Amino acid sequence: MALEDMLEWMRTEKGQVGIFDATNVTTDRRDSILKRLKGHCKVLFVESVCTDPETLRQNILLKAHKSSDYEGVPEEEAVADFARRIAAYEARYNTLGEEDKRNQTAYVKLINTATDCGSFEANRVRGFLPTRVGYFLMNAHTVPRKVYLCRHGRSVYNTENRIGGDSGLTSEGRQFSMALANWVRALPEDERPAVVWTSTLRRTVSTAQYLGNYPQVQFKLLDEIDAGRCDGMTYNEIAEKMPEEFKARQADKLHYQYPGGESYMDVIQRLEPVITELERQRVPILIVAHQAILRALTAYLKGQPLREVPHLPMPLHTLLALTPHSYGCHEERQPLLPAARSSGPGAA
């Protein structure tokens, strides 16, 4: 029924990518899926093999604690039930392998990727999208780790309500940069970021200046949304001099593209390599960037709809700690200056 629902969605709503979430542990089962989908779409099977005892133990406990299947069920009972389910699948399990290669089945196989000894196998992965999916899966893992996000300290343009630009920090912004460094140093050792990412703009680089003990990498891809011909203007100036642009932005902030600049959708697309690199990280990381950038990254990590991206709260001088896991994403917000004022316009 789920497979038929997916096909109907592709036919009637022009859906391009469907993820058919099912166990498919037997060769016959996979063959029946291939036959049903033939002529409708390309098929790429993804198999995850885990034999590491500690990873299995953690995954089972996570399932018992977080899955809606076991809501209200005592841990011991949930663990025992899930272990029985695993055993039932294992008794019928046919791994992807030589027969699938002979049948020219496209698949990727992840083997113990939660460990340092993990490996990856690919067969007949061809075409733009399957190749991108394979590349993403090569970098993805299930190891929980903290991702710290914060905007730069208050800049000169923030105080003037101007968007874009490459202005430096105000005295309050420099105060935040020192508070950020002190906060990081006070973290437990296993929660401190192993690396700091910033954009190439002065206000983020300056915000990270006191984090000298941590490796820092500047990414052009983390630069703020390009405001094009509106760069350096206030929103009041845009409303007065470019009223049609101002109205268009208010009507659809997600798809609105600054004249000669970018839209939120453009930003989301350019962040794809950053997201892949972020998925690859197995240690805590701190990203100091800009409002639009952090909105997009937060929405990705929390699985929020695209339409919500331009409206996510991202105040200045506040640190956001996200811990993604298999059943969601834990969020903590920590203001680092006692009387943080409004967020300022940025270019977002």
What would the DSSP string read from start to end of 245-301? HHHHHHH-TTT---TTS--HHHHHHHTHHHHHHHHH--S-EEEEE-HHHHHHHHHHH
Helix (H) or strand (E) holding 29: helix 27-37
Host domain of residue 94 = 2-139
State the catalytic residue, choosing from 152, 223, 245, 290.
Answer: 152
In the prediction, which pLDDT does 213 show? 85
β-pair partners for 151 = 289
226 and 249 part of one domain: yes
Cα angle 320-183-316, degrees, rounded to a multiple of 5 = 45
Place of tokens 């977080």: 66
122 and 162 part of one domain: no
Residue 314 CA to residue 320 CA, distance in Å, equals 9
Cα angle 163-164-166, degrees, rounded to a multiple of 5 = 130
Token duo for residue 111: 């083997």
Average pLDDT over residues 266-287: 95
163 and 66 part of one domain: no
State the catalytic residue, choosing from 224, 226, 231, 262.
Answer: 224
Mean pLDDT, the chain, rounded, equals: 92
Average pLDDT over residues 313-318: 96
Q: Using 50, 70 and 90 to split pLDDT, how confident is the model at 339?
A: low
Q: How many domains does the chain have?
A: 2
128 and 189 part of one domain: no
152 is catalytic: yes
224 is catalytic: yes
113 and 160 part of one domain: no
50 is catalytic: yes
Residue 23's CATH number: 3.40.50.300
The more confidently predicted of residues 340 and 323 is 323
Does some domain include residue 85?
Answer: yes
For the stretch 43-85, pLDDT in tens is 999 999 999 999 889 889 988 988 888 999 999 999 999 999 9
State the catalytic residue, choosing from 31, 41, 47, 50.
Answer: 50
In the prediction, which pLDDT does 344 show? 57
In the prediction, which pLDDT does 342 show? 45
Tell which of 113, 139, 165 closes a domain: 139
Does some domain include residue 240?
Answer: yes
State the catalytic residue, choosing from 4, 13, 21, 98.
Answer: 21
Q: Kindly state the percentage of the chain with pLDDT values over 90.
A: 78
150 is catalytic: no
For the stretch 230-268, pLDDT in tens is 999 999 999 999 999 999 999 999 999 999 999 999 999
